[in-house]
Amino acid sequence: MVSRTIFCLSAFLVLLALATSASSSKVLSPYYYNHVCPKALATIKRVVEAAVYKERRMGASLLRLHFHDCFVNGCDASILLDSTSTIDSEKNALPNINSLRGFEVIDQVKSEVDKICGRPVVSCADIVAVAARDSVVALGGPTWAVQLGRKDSTTASRDKANNDLPSPFMDLPALINNFKRQGLNERDLVALSGGHTLGSAQCFTFRNRIHNETNIDPKFVKQRKPTCPLVGGDSNLAPLDPTPAHFDVAYFNSLVKKRGLLRSDQALFNGGSTDGLVKAYSSNAKAFWADFAKSMVKMGNINVLTGKQGQVRLNCRKVN
């Protein structure tokens, strides 16, 4: 009887260990590289900071790269894959083509990290996630503990990029629904949209807003029209807020003043359910920073590949 009890207990402990191992392999951790490559994060930070100091706009580009990766099949670096006979690159999707930037910086980070680690142990998906955080910090924004241990995908989907990425022409219900499909709520929507405190937008994304919409400050319209005429100048840039190289709450202040550059920006403050959050963030940078950091971690966990799923790419632009 005793031996049978011991056998049952041993079997239970083995099953428990296997279950724990299986579940832990699905859980990301900020300490994932502490033993396999303790200098990995410092190396990523060094390269990203140099790139952002060289061109401040690059910080916004690297943040956007992470966003556009996570919203299409999860945070798996599928956004980095070039087109091949079997890969329909997401780079060629309408929201990304001639718009998404920062790929060369990711390549440089990968090269430097693999060199310092002695082998390719840091995934491209993790590099994109850490680069986004380090870009925000370099431009005066908050920090957060990036969860690590993602693996890289072996596929990409231009069609899903076209269908799943939020459009600058969306109204509030469409935005809420778009984020909800990713497991993100209205607070996440407003906080993550606050990433538009950095960077610029091309004329074709805001032409209709400044020429035809009415929920916009006339003085702002007058400022923007020379940059974006009714015809031509599609790729002309305008800042998303008055301080596009500094992570602050100017974006939310602009929305309150009806100076949102994109329709999808002003939709957050247009008599709808998100007005209160926009107003709160506009006067409370600490609250915005805290929520932005939480939402970035939450977004970074979308449909990640871990354990034996996926791979650690040798070259971020192609499958091993």
Among 141, 66, 91, 38, CA closest to 301: 66
Residue 53 CA, distance from chain mean position: 20
Is residue 217 a known part of a binding site? no
Distances (CA, A) of 115 to 38, 44, 62: 13, 12, 22
Is residue 197 a known part of a binding site? yes
Is residue 241 a known part of a binding site? yes
Is residue 218 a known part of a binding site? no
For the CA atoms of 49, 192, 32, 314, the dihedral, rounded to the nearest 10 degrees, stands at -60
How many CB atoms neighbour CB 109 within 10 A? 28
Is residue 186 a known part of a binding site? no
Is residue 78 a known part of a binding site? yes
Cα–Cα distance for residue pair 90/239, rounded to 1 Å: 25
Q: Which residues are catalytic?
A: 68
Is residue 66 a known part of a binding site? no
Which amino acid, one-letter code, is at 193? S
Is residue 248 a known part of a binding site? yes
Binding-site annotation: residue ranges: 69, 72, 74, 76, 78, 90, 166, 196-197, 241, 248
Residue ranges for the binding site for heme b?
196
Annotated binding-site ranges for substrate? 166
The annotated binding site for Ca(2+) is made up of 69, 72, 74, 76, 78, 90, 197, 241, 248
